[in-house]
Amino acid sequence: MVLTWNDQANVLACLESLFKVVYPNLEIVVSDNGSTDGTIEAIREQYPQAHLLENGENLFWAGGNNVGLKYALAAHADYILLLNNDTIVAPEMIAQLVQSGEADRSIGLLAPKIYYHDQPELVWYAGARVSMWRGLLWHVGIRQPDRGQFGRQVSVDYVTGCALMVRRQVVEQIGLIDTAFVAYGEDVDFSFRARQAGWQLVMVPSAIMWHKVGAYWGVFSLRKIRRKLRSNLILYRRYAPVWSWFTTIPLFMLLDSLRVLLLLGAGRFRVRRGQA
């Protein structure tokens, strides 16, 4: 299920890769958050086989994906893959993810290994770790050349929402994505809820894809920083030790703010208009 909003070129490229996928029982669904740039018309014309869910308004990441999850559950899907529209998938990716899920029924969420689209030799996601007492979340292997060091299936602390495959029983047990997160953090919260319910989360290295990182939001933007901060505060309130709210988390938030200021000085900060 591909979520999109006013990003015609990227979603069409994503669909092109999905229609090359080698998997016998696949339905390709697009959840459109009220696009006004001709996206809906272009999908109907170029990919009439795709099932189009027209939400009519911007439901953001959580709401738009929840529409897709409800559709998939009603269609009795065994696995549901949530994809950002700025991704390109390898033909075997879905088959590799499902194969790992079928080999171990305790696995509830699965992620592929993800590379930068513009620098395909560099890893963007080979797993993820969380340190709630410090208020830190990070991707394993990010910006590292892949020399085979990420060739083993590993447990992860969260599956990135960029490409999140979930077993239907997980959604039936823990519910939909929490719409309290307007943007960012929804995937972490969903992953934590799955882990608390007893499900395993894994990264499958044989399943690969490429992500156009920053294709919409930019590397840094005022909106991105503001929304990340808001979402992180929700995560800390739910999952971080109470003592860390007054000690380590403020310290690490200060250090992260200093990092952003350094990036500002280096000219890597930009404002991007668009999704509100």
Q: How deeply is 238 buried, as exposed, middle or buried, from its count of CB atoms within 10 A (0-12, 13-18, 19+)?
A: middle
Question: Is the pTM here over 0.85, yes or no?
Answer: yes
For the cut 60, the answer to whether the pLDDT of residue 270 exceeds it is no
Look at residue 274 in the predicted model and tell me its pLDDT.
37
Residue 272 lies in a domain: no
- Of the pLDDT bands very low, low, confident and very high (cuts 50, 70, 90), residue 247 is confident
Look at residue 231 in the predicted model and tell me its pLDDT.
77
* CATH assignment at residue 11: 3.90.550.60
52, 40 Cβ separation under 8 angstroms: yes
Integer angstrom CA distances of residue 9 from 15, 162, 225, 241, 273: 10, 17, 25, 43, 17
Look at residue 183 in the predicted model and tell me its pLDDT.
73
Residue 262 lies in a domain: no
Structural domain harbouring 195 = 2-211
The distance from CA 244 to its chain's CA centroid, rounded to whole angstroms, is 27
Mean per-residue pLDDT for 131-142?
Answer: 86
Integer angstrom CA distances of residue 71 from 77, 173, 216: 9, 16, 26
- Of the pLDDT bands very low, low, confident and very high (cuts 50, 70, 90), residue 240 is confident
pLDDT tens-digit readout, 140-195: 999 999 999 999 999 999 999 999 999 999 999 999 999 998 777 899 999 999 99
- Of the pLDDT bands very low, low, confident and very high (cuts 50, 70, 90), residue 256 is low
Mean per-residue pLDDT for 17-30?
Answer: 96
Q: Which of 194-203, 231-240, 250-259 has the lowest mean pLDDT?
A: 250-259
Residue 84 lies in a domain: yes
- Of the pLDDT bands very low, low, confident and very high (cuts 50, 70, 90), residue 200 is very high
Residue 14 lies in a domain: yes
Look at residue 135 in the predicted model and tell me its pLDDT.
75
pLDDT tens-digit readout, 94-125: 999 999 999 999 999 999 999 999 999 999 99
Residue 193 lies in a domain: yes
Look at residue 79 in the predicted model and tell me its pLDDT.
98
Number of folded domains in the chain? Answer: 1
Mean per-residue pLDDT for 211-232?
Answer: 68
Residue 239 lies in a domain: no
Residue 164 lies in a domain: yes
Residue 223 lies in a domain: no
Average pLDDT, the chain: 89
Look at residue 176 in the predicted model and tell me its pLDDT.
98
Burial 41-56 (b: 16+ CB within 10 A, else e): ebbeeebeebeebebe
